[in-house]
Amino acid sequence: MTSTRVATARLTALAFDERDAGAALALLEQSIALRHRRIALIRYLLARELGAPLEARHHAYVEKIAARLSADALARIAGAARARLRT
């Protein structure tokens, strides 16, 4: 596993297992930098749920992505985010 993957795995564990808002925000920032779409939406929802200090640019990024998706696709992504938050 590369060091980036190790860092991402650690942030994911912190965000999901320990409900760490800072880790969730770092994951979202990573997704934005890498121009992710689906995973960025999931990470945005996680960061929002955990009360991370989201900025206008975070909202704008996911709004741009969401505008290109169908209602069904958005519902599937939101469902995936909810499922991950429950685990």
> Domain tally for the chain?
1
What is the residue range of 39's domain? 3-86
Percent of the chain with pLDDT over 90: 82
Report d(CA 32, CA 29) in Å as an integer. Answer: 5
- Provide the CB-side half-sphere exposure for 44 (13 A, CA): 23
pLDDT-derived band at 63 (thresholds 50, 70, 90) equals very high
| Residue, of 77 and 54, whose pLDDT is higher | 54
Tokens in use for 1? 């596993």
